[in-house]
Amino acid sequence: MNIVLTTLNAKYIHTNLALRCLKAAAQPEFNPTIVEYTIKDPSFNIVSDLYQYKPDVIGFSCYIWNIEETIRVIRMLRAVAPDIKIVLGGPEVSYDVHEWLRRVEEIDYIVMGEGELSFKKLLQHFHGEIPLEEVPGICYLQDGHVKIHAQPAKIDLRELPSPFRFEEDRPHLGKRIQYIETSRGCPFSCQFCLSSIEVGVRYFNREKIKDDIRYLMANGAKTIKFVDRTFNISRSYAMEMFQFLIDEHVTGVVFQFEITADIMRPEVIQFLNDNAPKGLFRFEIGVQSTNDLTNELVKRRQNFEKLKRTVTMVKEGGKIDQHLDLIAGLPEEDYNSFRQTFNDVFAMRPEELQLGFLKLLRGTGLRIEAKKYGYTYVDVAPYEIFANNVLTFDEIIRIKHAEDVLEKYWNDHRMDNTIEYLVTQGFETPFDFFQNFGTYWEEKGWSRIGHQLEDLFKRLEEFLATQKHINLPVVRSLMQLDYLSKQQFQPRKLWWHERVSQSDQKAIFTMLKDNPSLAGDEFAQMNVTEKEFYKHSLLVPFAIDYHEFTNGEIVAKDGVLLTYFRNGSTPIFATLQLESV
């Protein structure tokens, strides 16, 4: 029996852990072939490729990001290979199975929930070993009626085989994100999340997990992401794993976790600050909202002051990057409340802030109670909302504008000094900057065209020129610093037009030749020749004092910025006064 397990990942760098768990559980009696695609691949190409495997059974792993593309593939596949048994599984099809079976008649079976046992039993049925009635956790159509088999008992995760030891995966471990789970289930009941449906938390065998991590590192894995819903729910377990990863990590490997920040004890953070190598760990923290009523309505227990303590303490440690999540559109969080949530969280200056929008996922409490809160939403995946009783579609569109420039100008960290100045001194609140700039960006039509790095600077400058309260020369100087600080060589084309005349350049070189310490001790020690100076230096008009800037102060002062570029290192900066030339 020829079995293929497949999915459409969101990106090429992603790896589907579920397929590997199913394959490992099916062995040794069955040996499925895993084939992965992306949602960008043409459906015809996917079908053509799958067809050439000549499968008797094909299983699709289904999620909100791939279900519609998967359905197109299934329908085309059924047309060219009508005898293939088509089986679906995954969180997107485990709920509302009646609708899926009736909507997509090409589906033979849906495996609901945890699939290792059910899928293997189904394969045994296909192989003629057991009757269909003995296959648990599946559903299908029989004589026009939906038949649902009871779920099996929860699997003892400690007994499951490793999903990481397939020889065909080894060449790709360093090229893709590797996902690993050390537990299943979530102790919380957030009504917008599918994890709230499974009660309790179960753990895999710790020593097996450690061996898997050793194997992944030894075979070139660079990014290992833990998919546990709350990695630190057990403090002793988290501490044991943190210690193991610190002790045995391989240089260049990054571990990523989803943590619940408000339950993390200060002594745990201090341990990480004291012992973790910089860059080894990365935390994802779901804040979602700081509105107490909203959190109560979605059954989300969260102590924001403790969360803030954790995030602040981690940031001060300087070892771990943090990615914080917000959700716009939760119950009773109107536009002004979300603005406050955004500002509350941005005040902590996370390395990344993801501004997401509520999706009414199948099986969640919020989808069941959608009418109660006046939700209107797209009834195809990913089920994103249009509006609710306190947030209009117009306001959601405006928040989306803010999200667009937040991603480009904060999360990508192209101009941190500029953005810090604007959100603290240029606009009333950080949200107002991102919102106003985002709306301007949309009005100019920039969201429909591409951009290069220089365009981001020019477009920000164009927007700021429309804001009467902005000290544009100061902001432009900060933008120039942000731009030049990331260059190792003198840029061939600058995004600004102001230049220092050739006569002033010559006078500045003469001045520095006589007194190089005017550009700082580091510059003076380099003994720069005239040829090197003209080859590696850039001189531009400048509106702030760089020395004061390095002390954390923005002081307006006209002069010239000297940038001396060094291959393999950051440039040397100094400000010089034209009147001294």
pLDDT at 581: 42
Q: Is the pLDDT of residue 164 over 80?
A: yes
Q: One-letter amino acid identity for 133?
A: E
pLDDT at 450: 87
Cα distance between residue 308 and residue 283, in whole Å: 14
Tens digits of residue pLDDT in 396-420: 999 999 999 999 999 999 999 999 9
- 257 SS3 class: strand
- Residue spans of the domains in the chain: they are 3-148, 157-389, 392-470, 487-576
Residue pair 271/239 in contact by the 8 Å Cβ criterion: yes
| Ranges of H-type helices in 426-471 | 430-443, 453-464
Residue pair 308/287 in contact by the 8 Å Cβ criterion: no
Residue pair 201/188 in contact by the 8 Å Cβ criterion: no
Q: Which CATH architecture has domain 157-389?
A: Alpha-Beta Barrel (3.20)
Q: One-letter amino acid identity for 212?
A: D
Question: Omega into 331 within 30° of 0, i.e. cis?
Answer: no
Cα distance between residue 480 and residue 554, in whole Å: 14
Tens digits of residue pLDDT in 84-120: 999 999 999 999 999 999 999 999 999 999 999 999 9
Cα distance between residue 212 and residue 127, in whole Å: 31
Tens digits of residue pLDDT in 47-77: 999 999 999 999 999 999 999 999 999 999 9
CATH class assigned to 3-148 = alpha beta
Cα distance between residue 146 and residue 110, in whole Å: 11
pLDDT at 579: 58
User: Which residues have CB under 8 Å from 510's CB, separation 6+?
Assistant: none
Cα distance between residue 326 and residue 342, in whole Å: 8
Tokens representing 392 are 């209009």
Please return the burial class of 35, using the count of CB atoms within 10 Å of its CB with bins 0-12, 13-18 and 19+: middle
Tens digits of residue pLDDT in 455-507: 999 999 999 999 989 999 999 999 999 999 998 888 888 999 888 888 888 88
Least-confidence region, from 235-244, 265-274, 497-506: 497-506
Q: Which of 102, 64, 53, 108 is nearest to 85 (CA)?
A: 108
Cα distance between residue 129 and residue 123, in whole Å: 9
Q: One-letter amino acid identity for 359?
A: K
Percent of the chain residues topping a pLDDT of 90: 85
Do domains 3-148 and 157-389 share one topology? The answer is no
Percent of the chain residues topping a pLDDT of 70: 99
Q: Which residues pair with 179 in a beta bridge?
A: 225
Cα distance between residue 358 and residue 505, in whole Å: 56
Cα distance between residue 556 and residue 7, in whole Å: 56
Tokens representing 472 are 């544009």
Cα distance between residue 220 and residue 63, in whole Å: 28
User: Which residues have CB under 8 Å from 42's CB, separation 6+?
Assistant: none
Cα distance between residue 66 and residue 382, in whole Å: 9
Cα distance between residue 179 and residue 156, in whole Å: 20
Q: What is the chain's mean pLDDT, rounded?
A: 94
Question: Quick one: average pLDDT of 368-374?
Answer: 96
Reported confidence tier of residue 580, pLDDT bands at 50, 70, 90: very low
Residue pair 299/328 in contact by the 8 Å Cβ criterion: no
